[in-house]
Amino acid sequence: MGIKAGYVRLSRDEDGQSESIEGQKTVITNYYRNVLHYTGEIVFFVDDNCSGMNFDRPDFQRLRREALNNNLDIVVFKDLSRFGRDSADTQKYWKEFVLKCGVRLIAASQNQDSLERHTRKTLGLYAWLNEQYVEDISEKILENFRSRQKKGDLIITVPYGYVKQGKSINIDEYAAEVVKRIFELYLSGHGYKKIASIMNEDGILTPSAYKSRTDAQSVWSFQVVKNILTNEFYTGTLLQKKTYKKEIKGKSFRTPHDQILKFPENHEAIIAKEVFDLVQETLKDRKNRSFRGTKNNSPHLFSGKIICEKCKKTYVFKYKRKGGPGYYICGTHYKFGPKYCKNSTVFENKLVGIIQEKLREKINENQEILLGLKNRINRQQDTEKIDKVIAKIKKEIEKREHNLKKIYIDKLNGKSKVPEYILDELISETSSEIDNFKRQLESAIAARDASTNRKETLENQNEKLRRFINRQLTRKDIEIIIKEIRINNKVIDVYWNM
């Protein structure tokens, strides 16, 4: 005689509180005692918190091995859903147990017995219904998950620098200072590896070690630094739905960027938005550039910012052999000699003076444009005139849309006495007029907003640029104000970040 077994399975996701381990064991025991009149030992196989859609369950596989070794006689489970919920696999394993291994399978509460003919007929139906049930539950869970995401109230974990207390997200002052320092170091010209090295040298715990995680990293790595520098959470913005699943236990997919849910000002920021944006731009800017020619692995004032207009290579910093100020030289010239690129070198102190002069020129240029914009706005009284034009265009659009709607309704109801081909021409003509008026409306609104927006942009730009006049520029200043510097012989062009 083989083993008299009971199989019990519970999934927290699928079953909630409707099932329990002990409850299932009671049903199985009662069936053995009252229906099968068996009073001997029952060996239980239990899979707790295991989905019925997956058959790689520890005790199910142990049960299967006993069956394949011909050690099982009977297996009783509460209902077929405990055996499995995937329709195809449920029927596959049922046949393996019954036909190949000769095991009697019984679903106690459903009166399903592999010895009975009606069970063979209805097995497929029960298996299909069980699969539909778990799919319905999965969709409800996913829908609830999506709903909470849209509200912005679903937080799984918070990054290093924050602590979660109930539903509140608070700043961890110590960790926040480390985050700020990492951003400062990056804008000062240090790369991922150099920043990681500084953190390790200063004995600062890694984020995982700081949180006392069991899988904590003992040293800072470039990836940890990169993750911090690219995490928008530090600006106070919550991002939800960065990944999604088509099924509750299915594969995760990356959400398209324009479909990610964003909640600005969700919590207190550690890093200002403009600083974060600048770092992201700098990340892109540095990606294909190197900071060669430095002695201490820290970029100099303009390292990586100067481009040779002739060969498109980055300039590198060098020191003069007999002391004195350092200079920048075209990377091609430095590596292969003047035969391959004869572009000019430039001393760092001279370039600082040039940048300061070009800052003044940029501010003066903006001031002249601002003066012209102010005079034009005052003279033309743009807003009042254009607002009247916009209102008139909107009325024309409304009138034609009303006419078009009436033509459509009359045509559909057969009330119009006008020939159909004329109606079609009228519809086409009216639709074309509406499109033309909409284009005029877009142009009018753009004209109304252009001067004001341009004025505000230039005023903000000048306010920022003035902060860098007549002061000693730092590497961080250069990252903030300069996108790149292009040199073509003696001509130096500066491209600004603002």
The DSSP symbol for 416 reads -
Query: What local confidence, expressed as pLDDT, does residue 250 receive?
Result: 53
**495 is written with which tokens?**
């491209």
Name the maximum alpha-carbon separation found in the chain: 105
Check whether 151 has a pLDDT greater than 60: no
Decide: 184 and 471 in contact? Cβ < 8 Å. no
**410 is written with which tokens?**
């009359």
pLDDT above 90: percentage of residues in the chain: 20
Question: What's the pLDDT tens digit per position in 8-60?
Answer: 998 765 554 446 888 899 999 999 999 999 999 999 999 988 888 788 899 99
Query: What local confidence, expressed as pLDDT, does residue 62 receive?
Result: 93
Q: Which residue has the higher pLDDT, 240 or 280?
A: 280
Question: What's the pLDDT tens digit per position in 277-318?
Answer: 888 887 876 765 554 444 444 568 888 889 998 898 888 888
Q: Please compute Rg for the chain using Cα positions.
A: 36
Find the mean pLDDT for residues 222-236.
91
Residue 112 vs residues 75, 116, 392, 425: alpha-carbon distances, Å: 12, 8, 76, 70
Query: What local confidence, expressed as pLDDT, does residue 118 receive?
Result: 67
Query: What local confidence, expressed as pLDDT, does residue 41 receive?
Result: 93
Residue 255 to residue 337: CA distance in whole angstroms: 49
Secondary structure in 3-state letters for 317-368: EECCCCCCCCEEEEHHHHHHCCCCCCCCCEEHHHHHHHHHHHHHHHHHHHHH
Ranges 233-247, 307-321, 359-373: which has the least confidence: 233-247
Residue 454 to residue 426: CA distance in whole angstroms: 42
Q: Which long-range contacts (CB under 8 A, 24 or more apart) does 139-142 make?
A: 141/13, 141/248, 142/245, 142/248
Find the mean pLDDT for residues 228-236.
91
Decide: 239 and 262 in contact? Cβ < 8 Å. yes
Q: Which residue has the higher pLDDT, 4 or 360?
A: 4
Query: What local confidence, expressed as pLDDT, does residue 360 receive?
Result: 84
498 alpha carbon, distance to own chain's centre: 26
Strands (E), 188-242: 238-240
Question: What's the pLDDT tens digit per position in 166-211?
Answer: 778 899 999 999 999 999 888 877 888 889 999 999 999 999 899 8
Check whether 254 has a pLDDT greater than 50: yes
For residue 41, count CB atoms less than 10 angstroms from its CB and return exposed for 0-12, middle for 13-18, buried for 19 or more: exposed
Residue 350 to residue 14: CA distance in whole angstroms: 71
For residue 393, give the amino acid letter. Answer: I
Residue 253 vs residues 35, 232, 244, 257: alpha-carbon distances, Å: 49, 20, 5, 12
Query: What local confidence, expressed as pLDDT, does residue 7 receive?
Result: 95
Query: What local confidence, expressed as pLDDT, does residue 293 receive?
Result: 41
Decide: 302 and 481 in contact? Cβ < 8 Å. no
For residue 75, give the amino acid letter. Answer: V
CA-wise closest residue to 299 among 478, 167, 69: 478
Ranges 203-207, 221-225, 282-286, 338-342: which has the least confidence: 282-286
**401 is written with which tokens?**
């849309």
**217: helix, strand or coil:** coil
Name the average pLDDT for the chain.
78
Query: What local confidence, expressed as pLDDT, does residue 463 receive?
Result: 74
Check whether 471 has a pLDDT greater than 50: yes
Query: What local confidence, expressed as pLDDT, does residue 376 receive?
Result: 57
User: Partners of 346 in the beta sheet?
Assistant: 328
Helical pair 222-229 and 173-187, crossing angle rounded to 10 deg: 100
Query: What local confidence, expressed as pLDDT, does residue 17 receive?
Result: 44
Query: What local confidence, expressed as pLDDT, does residue 379 receive?
Result: 47
pLDDT above 70: percentage of residues in the chain: 73
Q: Which residue has the higher pLDDT, 402 or 254?
A: 402
Find the mean pLDDT for residues 220-233.
91
Q: Which residue has the higher pLDDT, 265 or 29?
A: 29
For residue 213, count CB atoms less than 10 angstroms from its CB and return exposed for 0-12, middle for 13-18, buried for 19 or more: exposed
**83: helix, strand or coil:** helix
Ranges 90-104, 178-192, 392-406: which has the least confidence: 392-406
Query: What local confidence, expressed as pLDDT, does residue 215 receive?
Result: 73
**404 is written with which tokens?**
């078009």
**What's the chain's length in residues?**
498
Check whether 393 has a pLDDT greater than 50: yes
Query: What local confidence, expressed as pLDDT, does residue 345 receive?
Result: 87
Only one residue has tokens 């394949």, namely 68
